[in-house]
Amino acid sequence: MRLETTISPRRDGVVNVEIDGQKYVFAADESGSMVCDVKNDDHAAHLLKQGDNFLPYDEADFAKAAELARGDDDSNDGNDDDDGEDPVDMNAAPIEEPASVVAAEPAAPKAGRKKKGA
């Protein structure tokens, strides 16, 4: 799948992306779009999930890109990646408890000169 990136290129005119040891080089095509052919569907899915930074270049790939971006539901993969499955104990103490109240001692008299006539 040919993907386009909206990331500004480096001084040498390219955007380099490395996924699992595979390097992808996004370079300007004849229209000035920063594009690269990403043949690995898992890598394409990873890039498409990066917000608006990567998108399909060809209109024919929009449906496949949407499917890849949705991806598999990995909520049961055993990996704690904020998948919403963390057990919650509603009776647990808050993470940050307020500081305990401590009685303050009375303020000490100010040091310095005594008042006139005292």
Q: What pLDDT is stored for residue 99 in this prediction?
A: 64
List the beta bridge partners of residue 16. 25
Q: Which residues, other chains included, contact 8 with Cβ-Cβ below 8 Å and sequence gap of 6+?
A: 15
The pLDDT of residue 28 is 93
Kindly report, residue by residue over 73-100, the tens digit of the pLDDT.
555 555 555 555 556 566 665 566 556 6
Residue 50 scores a pLDDT above 80: yes
pLDDT at 84: 54
Lowest mean pLDDT among 41-45, 60-64, 91-95: 91-95
Average pLDDT taken over every residue of the chain? 79
Q: Considering only CA atoms, which of 22, 19, 24, 20 is closest in space to residue 5? A: 24
